[in-house]
Amino acid sequence: MILHELIDYGTLRLIWWGLLGILLIGFAATDGFDMGVGLLLPFVAKTDVERRVAINTIGPVWEGNQVWFILGGGAIFAAWPPLYAVSFSGFYLAMFVVLAALILRPVAFKYRSKRIEARWRSSWDWALFVGGFVPALIFGVAVGNVLQGVPFRLDDTLRAFYEGSFFGLLNPFALLCGLMSVAMLAMHGAVWLTLKAGGVVGERARNFGTVAAVATIALFALGGLALANWVDGYALAAPMAADGPSNPLLKDVVHGDGAWFVNYANNPWMLIAPVLGFAGAAVTLIGLRARIRGLSIIASGLSIFGVISTVGLSMFPFILPSSIDPRSSLTVWDASSSHLTLFIMLVVTVIFLPLILAYTAWAYRIMWGKVEEEAIRDEAGHYY
């Protein structure tokens, strides 16, 4: 037997669908609190010292957290080439805006404290805000558009043609999802600040985190209501072979009201995902008000896990539906790389992902502890 045939093609496709979800959740849970701190910076910190306290809660770890973003993009490129081709070309301008915002963040970290002028530092503080708010908003807008279907089609040679526009992405449901993403990451960032920032910064973050947790619950519920009543979902007209060829045009797709809820009716265990989304945010709210910081950060992470898992499980087996030609929609079963490619990638992942997790855990352990205003003042050269 050839080695890669030890795991059948359909199982490998399913594994990589799950791994992609894990990478996206890892990115949202780690770099998410970085973005959350950035977008909260103008509100939780009023003086230069307070802002330096907030910035230094993420200063030692933000670069490592971006590994998950790189891994997620790499996994899409290698495991789901059609998904990469359509999404990264169709959402090109949106991706460019995200990239520009993300570039602002490291520049702001490195240059903010090079000069002591208030105007100089304030400008970079707002750059950190943009670097947190814009990606959080656009990632949510992208998810909202994916749930509605993206205006692309495939011709007979499987070439993709995107027929949408940048401003077409900014529709009401997508903006709702964008605000949901901002609220969720603001909640996560606020919890991180209560855990890591001493003094008034942590206290202000607790108040903003309370509001963000309530907003997360309300917007998540509103998004579900919209999906049930106003946004058409997609479904396969007939079952597909899990080990079939990677040709999206070999299937028929139907769409209509409530289609994204069919999986929950057929597999009630999937309801765990939305329950975690709601319960995690609710427990975060309770933990913030009761000042139970450890509970809050765990619950906030579980809420992120639940929200992202809800999207993935609702859409399964779709990964990118087409609004103008449903037959061109990409699914887990017809948009992957070859059997051998997925197997080689899995072997590499099994070897290197534990190393990344171990190093990340070690880095967080070494750099743990609160950032206090006294330390910022007394050892100014050692901090951002």
What's the pLDDT tens digit per position in 218-256? 999 999 999 998 999 999 999 999 999 999 999 999 988
3-state DSSP: the chain helix, strand, coil percent, rounded to 5?
Answer: 75, 5, 20
The mean per-residue pLDDT over the stretch 57-75 comes to 85
> pLDDT above 90 covers what percent of the chain?
68
E strand or H helix that includes residue 256: strand 253-257
What's the pLDDT tens digit per position in 160-180? 999 888 888 889 999 999 999
Euclidean distance between CA atoms 215 and 39, whole angstroms: 15
Burial-class residue 78 by CB neighbours within 10 Å (0-12, 13-18, 19+): middle
Token look-up 């977008």 returns 39
C-alpha dist (Å) from residue 366 to 37, 212, 282, 359, 370: 21, 30, 31, 11, 12
Lookup: tokens for 345: 């990638």
Do 39 and 190 form a contact (C-beta atoms < 8 A)? Answer: no
Sign of the C-alpha dihedral, residues 78, 148, 88, 127? Answer: negative
Lookup: tokens for 287: 């933990």
For position 309, what pLDDT does the model report?
A: 97
Token look-up 């993709």 returns 160
Q: Name the pLDDT band for 88 (thresholds 50, 70, 90).
A: confident
Do 349 and 78 form a contact (C-beta atoms < 8 A)? Answer: no
C-alpha dist (Å) from residue 320 to 109, 207, 316, 328: 35, 38, 10, 9
- In this model, does residue 41 exceed pLDDT 70? yes
- In this model, does residue 4 exceed pLDDT 80? no
- In this model, does residue 3 exceed pLDDT 70? no
C-alpha dist (Å) from residue 253 to 86, 233, 325, 330: 18, 10, 9, 10
For position 2, what pLDDT does the model report?
A: 65
CA-wise closest residue to 331 among 214, 219, 250, 216: 250
What's the pLDDT tens digit per position in 314-363? 999 999 999 999 999 999 999 999 999 999 999 999 999 899 889 888 88
- In this model, does residue 382 exceed pLDDT 60? no
Q: Report pTM.
A: 0.93
Euclidean distance between CA atoms 30 and 37, whole angstroms: 11
Query: What's the domain count of the chain?
Result: 1
Euclidean distance between CA atoms 365 and 104, whole angstroms: 28
Lookup: tokens for 138: 């656009």
Lookup: tokens for 69: 């973003």
Instruction: Name the more confident of 364 and 132.
Output: 132
Count of Cβ atoms closer than 10 Å to residue 377 Cβ:
11
> pLDDT above 70 covers what percent of the chain?
97
For position 381, what pLDDT does the model report?
A: 56
Provide the residue range defining the domain that includes 102: 3-382
